[in-house]
Structure 1
Amino acid sequence: MDPADRRSRDLSRRERLCLVLWALLLGLAIAFQLGSRALFEPDEGRNAEVMREMSVSGDYFVPRLNDLLFLDKPFLYYAAGGLAMKALGATELAARLPAVLCTLALAFGVGALARRWWGDRAGALAGLAAAATPLPLVYTQIVIFDAMLTLWICAAVGAFYLAVERDAENGDGSAFRYWSVVAWAAMGLGVLTKGPVALLVPLAAVLPWALWRRRAGRLVERGAPLVLAVLIGPWLWVVSRADPDFLHYALVTETWSRLTSNELKRDAPSWYYLPVALLGALPWSVVPLAGARRVAAAFRARESRIRFLASWFVVPFVLFSILHSKRIHYILPLVPALVLLSIWLWVETPNGARLPGVRFAAMLWAVLGGTVLALGLGAAPKLLSRVEGADGATVAGVAAALGTIWLLAGVAAFLASRSPLAALITLALPPLALLLATAPLVEAVGERRSARSLAQSIDGTFGEGIEIVAVETFPASLPFYLERPLVLVTADGLWLRSNYILRRYSQMVGEAGPMRSPAWLEGAVGDCGTPRAFLVRQKNEALRRELVAAGRPQRDGGRDVDLFGPCASGEALSSGAPPSPPSPPPPAPPAGEAGRVSG
């Protein structure tokens, strides 16, 4: 390329100002409703409650849910949320803060790597692009592990690259040892976040490229993996004291079975990730496709960075497609590879030339916008039946706003296909609109799928001291909003949605703990001496009739459950009156109603 045609590696003052303003808009979009939106069930409510219990107990190493040992996942993400709650209180903002900070840290790291490779302009574009991609942006809003896991995986991949390339350039090996240790430390933190998958993905991404560079041995140079043992060893010792069989559960059930079988009911077709990557990483999923000839030419020319990025994306993508367990967020760590590849294509495009992929991505956004607009305005009643907690006007309004913004952004991007800055801003606008325009709908659905209003009703009606008994149901966010565990009556522990607890039900159930067997109900229903309310599924007709017969007033619990308050003598306890003697136990149910608990 003629040097006169090459784009400047540096940013002008005007470009810097535009990027700063765009970054502020991105920050506002991420922060919007972050602390006001109710926790969705089951995942957000469950994870937030584990964080809350850590902040209360001060034990940040052994996760507990509803005061039960909960070792489905390691501790690090929970501990980060627990520390946030220690500082900010048990709020939705504190619960969501770790995911936001991890996503922003990842964007900074992607930008730093691009800046190292291609200059200031590439670094700024890559950092903002990484943060404004649909899939990572959505996961800043969810109380789930994958934003933190993605940070550690990508940090490990980047550190491995620097280890191999620094050594190849300098020859003395000193820089390599440092970055290799960083990579293994990042993988160790990933293991403490979500388990051994944090080892699988970085090594799968880097090893083929390192073999091509004939430096695969450098990935484990001079005891770097010992850092992994130093990081995870103490935690494994602490947890194994709480449960000696934990390692078998973690390695066999939570890792091997999840990846190689459909035991956890997460199977999907082998092509599952193709549409996920196309839409979840838009527009960066289509830029490399549009610039495929240049990518292939660089690959054939043995360009190390391009081969590295190809290995980062392709090998884990194929691996995830083959494995049985599939979830949308599994490919989050692959998105930065597409971002970096796209930014390389843009900054290497001559001045005045059309940027690859911009018009293709613009047309996709415009088509998606038109589709959303047409569906929302023309089929709002049908959409309403599929979206809980929102009326037709809300659905139509959200569809109109979102569809219009996507359509206009697509048109603007189509016209801005020669300027990297303008292309970035217009193509990244639709993901931001996804957060802002859908806010009313997400808020309405969140209230419907959260126990926040139920907790407010319980505290407002009965006070904070009453014992809540959940019978074969477990609104995951209710303990979080009540700030205390529930008494869970269950025949198997299934309602906690924990593979760990499910497999240890017989060891955990008991009169002294928060999980009771159905037999405990026989005396509890008629016991008016204890201030106690029952949360019962509406399908459980037999138990509902028994609670009414025991003098417990019925109240609407929302969704598919009803709330039965203390009987008249028990209610006196809230005003300081002495307890009344317990009522006699109810008569045995007819033979046909013996299974009332499981209803």
Structure 2
Amino acid sequence: MIQSLKPYFILTAAALALYLPFLGAVHLFDWDEINFAESAREMLLSGEYFQVQINFMPFWEKPPLFIWMQALSMKIFGVNEFAARFPNALCGVLTLLTIYRLGKDHYSEKVAMYWVLAYAGSMTPQLYFKSGIIDPFFNLFIFLSIVMVAKAALLDPKPRKWLYFFGGIFLGLALLTKGPVAVIVVGLCILVVLILRSFHFFFDWKDVLLFSLSTLLISFAWYGVEFLRHGFWFFEEFIRYQKELASQSVASHGQPWYYHPLVLLVGAFPASIIALRAFGENLTWTQKEKNFRLWMAVLFWVVLILFSMVKTKIIHYSSLCYLPLTFLAALVMESSRIKRIQYRRSNAFLVGTVGTLIFAAFFLIPLLMGTSLKPSLLATIDDPFALANLRQDIIFPWFTYLPAAIMFITLLFSVRWLWMRELEKGFPMLFGGTLLALQVFLVLVVPRIELFTQGPAIAFIEKVQAEEAYIETLGYKSYAQYYYGKTMPIGDTASFKHFSDSTRHLYAGTASREIPNQQFKAWLLHGDIDKPAYFIAKYPIDENLIAHPNLEFLGQEGGFVFYRRKINEPGSSSRPE
């Protein structure tokens, strides 16, 4: 018994060693990381665990399961970056254990090991488990739901009941993590498999009922309770936002149709390159192998096509593809190793080509950001905000070139071994070296990049938060002012309510979920506030803000401009027209 569990203990220890160190080494990034961490912080402060909030106002975009996890983590570790990212580190451990078990059950221990290697050693798949975003758990729950259905598809009615039950449980958890898109993904996968099997059904009405009831049972833990507490208005806003994501580019996240294929090709390197062979060949023999490969291929294409069609495109929308993609890479590696197929040297060439792009990025970032070549970079940029940020004098010491050096050595040896078809050397070197290069990059380079992107704003927020002041942004959206400003609920609620009521007519054409935030900013600028207010805007300096009678210009740092408004200054009771 102990001997059979030994690989799982070793894998758990290795995963913890990979995902836990340096979790809190850099600030949380705007928007998503700070957004969810702030909602968790406000849960702890307000005691309101069912309705997600931002700035102590309802936040309609996400259900609360992941935020509950972060709140629990913050209860244990305190409100900090480590606590915000800790749930995903655990998700990384669970994911590697899951794919190891699945690879071993459906294929062999070697396929299982290759799958773990491919997932842990590819770029964005390993990066996500060191983040504080929702998607790792969302992806795992959807994946497990589909795996349960895939397993059930091979069984007789009686033994498959429990698989459909647990499939519904995992789908319910996915619903509680990110919302109804989980049902769409799972439903489309089942539909596509049915079509490919000429509608040879692998379930009956009892299976459908059991799957649906278990999904509803879990999802009722929030959706049902929230409906009973607050009625349907919250869900109207929630559903409206989900429709906006699908039908239009939200928050400037519109991208061309090929965005996600390109993101996967480069971001999921090297698994994305190794897996290419699997799209042209079956690489499976038994019915069990063919069934699992079919579901993984369907999951990959459903996610890729679905989120390529959606108007709002963000890099992590296609992250569910990482699981089937790394599985296909593992299948290619094992099939090549045992010579079921011959490894193609053209694949080694592609590995070298895409790998060189990643090496170039690792090398050029410190070179262009921290040397006399920076003016050459600045000359190519027109955006004044980006220019102001990049003009900051941030030092990149010699050791910030280590990720590039590691990547260079990795490519030098792995491409050579792959070309010579010495695969048992080439594959581990490729994935292991990529893993190490990215880990070193995250520790040595990313904190310096963060200083360019948001460092001055967060430094200012952390400086003034001790005054127990309000902190807001003007002209751009951010959540940093709430989390790093340790925002508390509005002090003078009577003044804010009076101001809101008297200015509501000004927001007739505004989406209802946007009104409270806009009114809050207007109150800080024009209302009878009960404590000082600070504002952050982006460069270039807005002359209207400089001339604003209630604002005092404090200065500029990087691409951010800072203002202050004090209590009871002249004009403090002015109203927007």
What TM bracket, shorter-length normalisation? 0.7 to 0.9
Which is further off, 44-53 or 471-480? 471-480
Shift of 1:543: 5.2
SS of aligned partner of 1:225: helix
Which residue in 1 is equivalent to 2:186?
Answer: 202
What letter is aligned with 2:153?
A: V
Aligned to 2:153, the other structure's residue is in SS state helix
| Distance in 2 between residues matched to 1:391 and 1:208, nearest whole Å | 52
Equivalents in 1 of 2:120, 2:62: separation in Å? 26
Contact 1:164 1:218 (C-alpha < 8 Å) held by counterparts? no
The answer for the alignment partner of 1:3 in structure 2 is none
Partner residue of 1:457? 463
Pick which of 539-548 and 216-225 moved more. 539-548
Q: Distance in 2 between matches of 1:473 and 1:275?
A: 28
Question: 517, 523, 542: which one pairs with 2:522?
Answer: 517
Task: Kindly provide the CA deviation profile for residues 85-141 of structure 1, in whole angstroms up to 9, marking residues without a partner as x.
Answer: 111110111111122222332222111110101222222221232233212222223
Q: Is residue 242 of structure 1 aligned with residue 221 of structure 2?
A: no
| Cα distance in structure 2, aligned partners of 1:280 and 1:469 | 34
Q: What code does the residue aligned with 2:534 have?
A: F
Kindly state the Cα deviation for residue 479 of structure 1 after the two structures are TM-superposed: 2.3
1:468/1:255 CA distance change after superposition, 3 Å: closer
Q: What is residue 43 of structure 1 aligned with on the other side? A: 32
- The letter of the residue matching 2:36 is N
Q: Is the 8 A contact 1:369 1:407 kept in 2?
A: no
Q: Compared with structure 1, are the counterparts of its residues 28 and 216 closer, same or farther at alpha carbon in structure 2 (3 Å cutoff)?
A: same
Alignment partners' CA distance in 2, 1:431 and 1:140: 13
Q: Which residue in 2 is equivalent to 1:217? A: 203
* More displaced stretch, 94-103 vs 428-437: 428-437
Between Structure 1 and Structure 2, whose CA radius of gyration is higher?
Answer: 1
Match of 1:427 in 2: 431
Alpha-carbon contact 1:103-1:136 (below 8 Å) kept: no
**Corresponding position of 1:79:** 68
- Shift in alpha-carbon separation, 1:502–1:88, aligned structure 2, 3 A: farther
- Note if 1:532 corresponds to 2:529: no
- 1:503 is matched by which residue type in structure 2? S
Q: What SS does the aligned partner of 2:484 have?
A: helix
1:557 to 1:200, Cα distance in 2 relative to 1, 3 A: same
Alignment check: 8 A CA contact 2:114 2:333 kept = no
What one-letter code is carried by the residue in structure 2 that aligns with 1:316?
V
Corresponding position of 1:574: none
Post-superposition offset of 1:158: 1.1
Aligned to 1:320: 307
Q: Would you say 1:334 and 2:321 are equivalent positions?
A: yes
| Equivalent residue number for residue 174 of structure 1 | 158
Q: Which amino acid aligns with 2:152?
A: A
Q: Bigger CA drift: 470-479 or 108-117?
A: 470-479
Taking the aligned partners of 1:565 and 1:226, their CA distance within structure 2 comes to: 54
SS at match of 1:564: strand
State whether residues 470 and 486 of structure 1, in contact with CA within 8 Å, keep that contact through their aligned partners in structure 2.
no
Q: Quick check: 69-78 or 336-345, which moved more?
A: 336-345
Superposed CA deviations along residues 38-60 of structure 1, whole A, max 9, x for unmatched, are 12223222221111011223332
1:472 to 1:441, Cα distance in 2 relative to 1, 3 A: same
The answer to whether 1:164 aligns with 2:153 is: yes
Which structure 2 residues correspond to residues 126-205 of structure 1 after superposition, within 5 A?
Answer: 126-165=115-154, 167=155, 171=156, 173-205=157-189
Alignment size in residue pairs: 535
Pair 1:562 & 2:562 matched: yes
Contact 2:473 2:535 in 1 (8 A): yes
Q: Residue 311 of structure 1 aligns with which residue? A: 298
Change (3 A) 1:249 1:432: farther
Q: What residue in structure 1 maps to residue 482 of structure 2?
A: 479
SS in 1 for 2:43: helix
Identity %: 20
DSSP-derived class of the 2:304 partner: helix
Deviation per CA, 1:155-181: give whole Å up to 9, x if none. Answer: 11111111112x1xxx3x233111111
2:332 pairs, out of 345, 349, 359, with 345
Q: 1:441 to 1:507 in 2, by over 3 A?
A: closer
Partner SS, residue 439 of structure 1: helix
Give the Å deviation of 1:226.
Answer: 0.8
Q: Is the 8 A contact 2:64 2:176 kept in 1?
A: yes
DSSP-derived class of the 2:282 partner: helix
Q: Distance in 1 between matches of 2:322 and 2:75?
A: 33
CA displacement at 1:198 relative to structure 2: 0.8
Task: Tell me: CA distance 1:292–1:50, structure 2 relative to 1, closer, same or farther (3 Å).
Answer: closer
SS at match of 1:517: helix
* RMSD of equivalent CA atoms: 4.1
The AA in structure 2 aligned to 1:402 is P
Tell me if the contact between 2:121 and 2:434 (Cα under 8 Å) persists in the aligned partners. no
Residues 1:364 and 2:353 are matched in the alignment: yes
Q: Tell me by how many angstroms 1:68 deviates.
A: 0.7
